[in-house]
Structure 1
Amino acid sequence: MTVGERLKMLRLERRLTMLEVASKIGLAKSSYASYEAGHRNPPIDKLVALAQLYNVSTDYILRLTNTPDSVESLQKQHLQWDGISLSEKELEVVHQVVELMTEKHQENNKVKLRHMDIG
């Protein structure tokens, strides 16, 4: 399965059209269609937006794991900090922190874009 095929599968599972997905992540339909067709790979910001839209990890979209949930994927990798394995609860906290950081980054980008439109 390619990245494009995985994106198509995720979109169809959620009963979304290409236009709906493209609109939700701030793209033209033709740009999104090129991802699904395998002509282009999404840039990092769009990859993150797609992962958030589908509630999966970017690793899942990129086919680095077959586990859609990022916390579950982290658990399978036995994530450690200073040689100490993290518990399921600790991994959930890590997941929440990363989500908050990503949301903050996206909000900052939106603010910058709004300022660019005004100026």
Structure 2
Amino acid sequence: MTVGERLKTLRLKKRLTLREVASKIGLAKSSYASYEGGYRNPPIDKLIALAQLYQVSTDYILNLTNVPDSVESLQKQQLNWDGKVLSKKELEIVHQVVELMTEKQQENIKGNLRHMDIG
């Protein structure tokens, strides 16, 4: 599936017209139609706007993944790994690992700042 095909599928799924999508992301209808037609690829700012509009990741639009999850899904305490939703227990483990990594990073930053203190 091409980027244009993915965009068209997402638009039709949301039951939006070309004009509606173009308006929502600040484009002329013909410009957006060129994305779906495969004549042009959206620039980064429009790619982000489309991902937000369709509530999917930019990777999904770009066909780098077939998992349409957006960043919002992470905020809903849902995380996928290779297309499989992680269980609550697995999420707790991931959360603990991230906390440990963050704490270690903060310790390293504080240590570097103390080392740089000339006073």
Q: Same fold (TM over 0.5)?
A: yes
Please give the alpha-carbon distance, in whole angstroms, between the structure 1 residues aligned to 2:28 and 2:5: 19
Paired residues in the alignment total 81
> Which one has the bigger helix percentage?
1
Runs of 4+ in 1 over 4 A off after TM superposition: 71-74
Cα displacement (A) at 1:58: 0.2
Match of 1:86 in 2: 94
User: Larger radius of gyration, structure 1 or 2?
Assistant: 2
Match of 1:10 in 2: 10
TM-score, normalised with respect to structure 1: 0.62
Cα displacement (A) at 1:69: 0.5
Secondary structure of 1:63 counterpart: coil
Cα displacement (A) at 1:76: 1.3
Match of 1:53 in 2: 53
RMSD between superposed Cα atoms in Å:
2.1
TM-score, normalised with respect to structure 2: 0.62
5+ residue gaps, structure 2, are 83-92, 99-119
Amino acid at match of 2:62: L
Please give the alpha-carbon distance, in whole angstroms, between the structure 2 residues aligned to 1:74 and 1:7: 24
Please give the alpha-carbon distance, in whole angstroms, between the structure 2 residues aligned to 1:49 and 1:5: 17
Please give the residue correspondences for 1:12-27 in structure 2 after superposition, counting only pairs within 5 Å: 12-27=12-27
